[in-house]
Amino acid sequence: MTPRTETEKTKPFRLVKYFTYTSLVVIFLGTLILSALNTHWVRKLQYEKSVDYALLLIENLNHQVFLQFILPVGLKYGKIELSNNEQFERMDNVIRSTLHSFKVEMVNIYGMTDQIAYSFSEEIIGMHNLGGASYNKAAQGEVSSKLVQSGSFWEILLGFPKEIKIITFAPLRAEKPLSRISGPVLGVIEIVQDMSEDYKAIFKFQVLTVGTITVVMFILFLTLTYVVKRGEGIIHKRALEQLRLKEQLSKAKHLSTLGEMVAGISHEIRNPLGIISSSAELLKKKIDDTPLNAIADVIVQESGRLNHIITDFLNFARPRTPDFSPIQVQEVIEKNIGYLSSQIAQNGYIIKTRYGKQLPLIMADSEMLYQAFLNILINAMQAMPDGGEITVIIEPSEEDLWVFFEDEGSGIPTSVLEDIWDPFFTTKEQGTGLGLGIVKNIIEAHQGLIRIDNKPDAGTRVSIKLPRQQRR
């Protein structure tokens, strides 16, 4: 198959393959983007819930501080001074008991002058101007929250900073008894929530999701690669099979035309050849015991050789239809050996036979098999001009009968091993190159198979498989 033909055969499949791979990549990237968006939504939802959670804590804390601290202390002392240890401890007890078991890292309470009056951290009590813009908003009655992250650039970019905190500022208001209307702003409450563990859990979930997607996509990729390779192999085999069938059809048409031409020419040649041969025989009788007798012998001999060549042409061009009948293959082999016995004895050949036990009858044409086996034995003898051993083996199988011919010749050159079945191809100085073609036609007419291989040590092995019964 030429590269261009193969490309044309596989081009539609390659388009499907590229489209599939591209779709897989797009799906993978789309899934990663969707995973990132989901993580962003989860983080946003977590932030909103944390802010709502902080506002509820502040509302409850405002209520408890006003009822349990501001009112009682105001009535007892007349004014609130957290610098007084007794008041500070009372405030600390109220706040800590209120926020007990809640996830709050830090609580700061500012006065109206942006000075920290109370804090979980005693070091910053009394400091000024730490609240910034958020304090100013809360002092005006507005609630604000912000997300604070700490860590390296890549940690923050990839979503797993070392610390994540939500800081919420809200006004501390006076409460009116039996009324839902809040009183004036008395100060500012700052609550700090450490959300690092929550966000790490979200990040771990994101990593697990991306990892699962990657594994699934990798498995899909391997599966797709396997399917693609199998598909390419199947398409390649089909393309080769189509090309082989096309070549066989073209070859068959060519041989059919050639066979018809050869058959017609051979038939026309045979008639004058018969006249030349018979005339030479008559001439030989009339000029007996003269020097011209040798010329007549040459004419007769060469006429016979030419007739044999014409017979090969006709047998190849117009193969016979087998006349099937039950036969014993070993009897055909023995008949071949008997016919060649004089040549075997003169040239030092040894023919060994190994027949399996209880060889079955097969449906075949004994005359056609005789001709095929004779050609094979003659080829084996010609491969060993100085003599040698030829082994004939017959082995039965369940539905077939195998016949093997082995010689000790030099074998067939590997470069021409595939050309030996071509008509008119021969490596001999004399020969038509039709012998093996005739043998193959005969075996295939019996619905059998023939194969020729070089033996590992030396020589050639011809393997023939013949069915016991002809299939319809």
Tens digit of each residue's pLDDT (9 = 90 or more) over 178-202: 555 567 888 899 999 888 888 788 7
Cβ 243 vs Cβ 5: under 8 Å: yes
Beta pairing partners, 170: 189
The yes-or-no verdict on residue 433 having pLDDT over 60 is no
Instruction: For residue 434, name the pLDDT band (cuts at 50, 70, 90).
Output: low
CA-to-CA separations, 438 to 151, 285, 314, 375, in angstroms, rounded: 88, 37, 10, 9
The yes-or-no verdict on residue 328 having pLDDT over 60 is yes
Question: Helices 85-98 and 3-65: crossing angle, nearest 10°?
Answer: 140
Tens digit of each residue's pLDDT (9 = 90 or more) over 245-283: 888 787 667 666 666 666 666 656 666 766 776 776 776
Report the pLDDT value the prediction gives residue 317, as an integer from 0 to 100.
57
Instruction: For residue 87, name the pLDDT band (cuts at 50, 70, 90).
Output: confident
Instruction: For residue 470, name the pLDDT band (cuts at 50, 70, 90).
Output: confident
Report the pLDDT value the prediction gives residue 219, as an integer from 0 to 100.
86
Return the higher-pLDDT residue of 471 and 96: 96
Instruction: For residue 2, name the pLDDT band (cuts at 50, 70, 90).
Output: very low
Distance CA 164, CA 393 (A): 88
CA-to-CA separations, 380 to 124, 368, 413, in angstroms, rounded: 112, 19, 15
Distance CA 144, CA 118 (A): 20
Mean pLDDT of 115-137: 88
Instruction: For residue 1, name the pLDDT band (cuts at 50, 70, 90).
Output: very low
Region of 104 on the Ramachandran plot (φ > 0 left; ψ -120 to 50 alpha; else beta): beta
Report the pLDDT value the prediction gives residue 169, as an integer from 0 to 100.
92
Domains of the chain: 3-194 (3.30.450.20), 325-467 (3.30.565.10)
Closest by alpha carbon to 375, among 417, 428, 322? Answer: 428
Tens digit of each residue's pLDDT (9 = 90 or more) over 55-65: 888 888 888 88
The yes-or-no verdict on residue 95 having pLDDT over 80 is yes
Distance CA 404, CA 348 (A): 21
**Cβ contacts of 273 within 8 Å, gap of 6 or more:** 303, 306, 307, 310
Average pLDDT value over all residues in the chain: 79
Distance CA 328, CA 314 (A): 28
Report the pLDDT value the prediction gives residue 425, as an integer from 0 to 100.
52
Question: Helices 435-445 and 292-317: crossing angle, nearest 10°?
Answer: 40
Residue 409 one-letter amino acid: G
Distance in angstroms between the alpha carbons of the first and the last residue of the chain: 34
Cβ 164 vs Cβ 148: under 8 Å: yes
Tens digit of each residue's pLDDT (9 = 90 or more) over 187-246: 899 999 888 888 788 778 878 888 888 888 888 888 877 887 787 778 778 888 888 888
Q: What is the pTM of this model?
A: 0.45
Tens digit of each residue's pLDDT (9 = 90 or more) over 285-318: 777 666 666 776 677 666 666 766 666 665 665 6
Q: Return phi, psi of residue 65, to 5°.
A: -65, -40
Q: What does the H/E/C string look like for the chain? A: CCHHHHHHHHHHHHHHHHHHHHHHHHHHHHHHHHHHHHHHHHHHHHHHHHHHHHHHHHHHHHHHHHHHHHHHHHHHHCCCCCCCHHHHHHHHHHHHHHCCCCCCCEEEEECCCCEEEEECCHHHCCCECCCHHHHHHHHCCCCEEEEEEECCHHHHHHCCCCEEEEEEEEEEEEECCCCCCEEEEEEEEEEEEECHHHHHHHHHHHHHHHHHHHHHHHHHHHHHHHHHHHHHHHHHHHHHHHHHHHHHHHHHHHHHHHHHHHHHHHHHHHHHHHHHHHHHHHHHHHCCCCCHHHHHHHHHHHHHHHHHHHHHHHHHHCCCCCCCEEECHHHHHHHHHHHCHHHHHHHCEEEEEEECCCCCCEEECHHHHHHHHHHHHHHHHHCCCCCEEEEEEEEECCCEEEEEEECCCCCCCHHHHHHCCCCCCCCCCCCCCCHHHHHHHHHHHCCCEEEEEECCCCCEEEEEEEECCCCC
Report the pLDDT value the prediction gives residue 392, as an integer from 0 to 100.
92
The yes-or-no verdict on residue 75 having pLDDT over 60 is yes
Report the pLDDT value the prediction gives residue 422, as an integer from 0 to 100.
64
Closest by alpha carbon to 397, among 469, 472, 322, 325? Answer: 469
Tens digit of each residue's pLDDT (9 = 90 or more) over 342-357: 888 888 889 999 988 8
Task: Show the CA angle centred on residue 224, arms to residues 219 and 227, nearest 5°.
Answer: 130
